[in-house]
Amino acid sequence: MYRKPAGLLSVTWPLLTDLVLGLTVGLAGLWLASQESDAAAAAFTLANHVQASLFLLFRIVSMGVSVVITQNLGSGNHASAHDTARAALGASTWLGLFSGIIVALWPGSLLLALNAPSDVLPLAVPFLRILAIALALDALNATMGAVMRAHMHTRDTLLNMAIMHSLHLTVCLLLMYGAGPIQAMGLAGFAIAAAVSRMFAVVFHLFLWRWRLHLIPQIRDWWQVKWELLTPVLHIGLPGAAENIAYRLALLSTVAMVAHMGTDALAEHGYTMQIMFFILVFSLSVGFGSEILVGHLIGARALHKAHRLVVKSVRLGLLVSFGMALVAVLCGHWALSFFTSDLRIIEVCIQLLWITVLLEPGRALNLIVINALRATGDARFPVIAGTASMIFVMSGGSWLLGVHFELGLPGIWIAYTLDEWTRGLIMCARWWGRGWIPAARRTHRRLIQQREH
């Protein structure tokens, strides 16, 4: 049964909670690694950068399927929404296997590409190899969760993720430190726990699909790739994922610069990033929530309502992101003391957090508006404009300020800030200039053709 889109906050808070839970597990893993050594923390950071980069491949499907299903539901075409979900499942299986095999076979090469220090590499390689299993399962969870959220079942998805993260933490503590006959495994224990929890989430998603959506995948749905159904998904997902991949590659290029500065710099970067992630999750959740609601509104041809929703989302995102950044920098010393007792490292991290106060409002503009543009079907412009900024402002600016002018990590953080504001203002110009209207009209024509067939 079609459900009328809810309000922005009712959609956003489960997404926000889900993201915070995920970050909490990552933060706990980083803290546990830091108790062993700064080298172990750096290994954890580098391995997770690799995992997060490959996870972007899954966004090709999950991002596209979310938008296409919300548009179909908005127009009342439930059969097409279910067919799209089945097709996305098969595509996710192959993407997950592809990514997992790459990580399992060549973890050392991936880490060396990031200039992994010699004392970090022996710790990161086995950790990353085991993470390959969790990565393959993440592909399925990303798509199945996106389908649930597109149907407005954000709370059910939150329940699944809450149980998954709780299971991960419980098993992680047991395996990393050992108990009874179980020997302490260190970082490998975190990776094994991740695989176990992801398998549980896939099974629970199947239950939710059957219970909430009355959607039961057939055996062939797990491996068949139905290109005719995936075409509109890829039309949204490929440019969207390309934009995310471009960002990740640009970020990895800066991480490689940081790694060249030494283990301490890499640890400082990792600690600050973990705190910054807790700031950006609000903008990200508002962006995801706006994408879901705008997709429904575009499918229902309510363009004026979609515009008003984006204006409201931007105001909320700017206000809260700035406030949360201030709270983070004021609590910085206390938070960082959980990771390290090195006062010099803490001092550098605090400098980076002050720069983050300027960075986060720009990120809020970028994340919220770019997701709204994608929901209308306007997927190509963001990747073209965004990639140019990432190459020249983020990556090029990081080298210029951080390496050439020897400003170090603060120089790289300034480049991050300039990039977020550049992309955010470009996306705002596109939205307020009504550049997305032609894409919305093309979406309407496609939905009408689907109903006729």
pLDDT at 197: 96
pLDDT at 2: 42
- 312 located within any domain: yes
124 within 8 A of 39, measured Cβ to Cβ: no
- 1 located within any domain: no
- 111 located within any domain: yes
- Residue 184 zone, left/alpha/beta (φ > 0; ψ -120 to 50; rest): beta
- 3 located within any domain: no
pLDDT at 453: 64
Work out how many domains the chain is built from and give that number: 1
3-state class (DSSP) for residue 341: coil
441 within 8 A of 375, measured Cβ to Cβ: no
> What is the DSSP code (8-state) at residue 179?
B
- Per-residue buried b or exposed e for 262-295, using 16+ beta carbons within 10 Å of the residue's own CB: ebebbbbbbbbbbbbbbbbbbbbbbbbbbbbbbb
Q: Give the whole-angstrom CA distance, residue 114 versus residue 49.
A: 9
Structure tokens that stand for 368 in this block: 């919220």
Q: Give the whole-angstrom CA distance, residue 88 versus residue 94.
A: 10
- 306 located within any domain: yes
3-state class (DSSP) for residue 250: helix
- 69 located within any domain: yes
The alpha helices in 377-435, defined as continuous H runs, are: 380-389, 396-398, 409-432
Q: Which amino acid is at 414?
A: I
Q: What is the pLDDT along the chain (453 residues), one digit of tens a residue?
A: 444 456 788 888 898 898 888 888 887 888 888 887 778 888 888 888 888 878 878 888 898 999 999 999 998 888 889 999 999 999 999 999 999 999 999 999 989 887 788 888 888 999 999 999 999 999 999 999 999 999 999 999 999 999 999 999 999 888 988 776 778 788 888 999 999 999 999 999 999 999 999 999 999 999 998 888 899 999 898 888 888 888 888 998 998 899 889 888 988 998 898 788 888 899 999 999 999 999 999 999 999 999 999 999 999 999 999 999 999 999 999 989 887 888 999 999 999 999 999 999 999 999 999 999 999 999 899 999 999 999 999 999 999 999 999 899 999 999 999 999 999 999 999 999 999 999 999 988 888 887 766
- 266 located within any domain: yes
Domain range enclosing 59? 8-452
0.85 surpassed by pTM: no
- 235 located within any domain: yes
pLDDT at 5: 53
Q: Which residue has the tokens 């994340």?
A: 367
pLDDT at 6: 60
What's the distance, CA 327 to chain centroid?
A: 23
CB proximity list for 357: less than 8 A, separation 6 or greater? 322, 325, 326, 329
- Residue 231 zone, left/alpha/beta (φ > 0; ψ -120 to 50; rest): alpha
Structure tokens that stand for 61 in this block: 């499907």
Structure tokens that stand for 371 in this block: 């997701």
pLDDT at 254: 93
- The CB density around residue 221, as the number of other CB atoms within 10 Å, is 17
- Per-residue buried b or exposed e for 171-203, using 16+ beta carbons within 10 Å of the residue's own CB: bbbbbbeeeeeeeebbbbbbbbbbbbbbbbbbe
Structure tokens that stand for 299 in this block: 């499918």
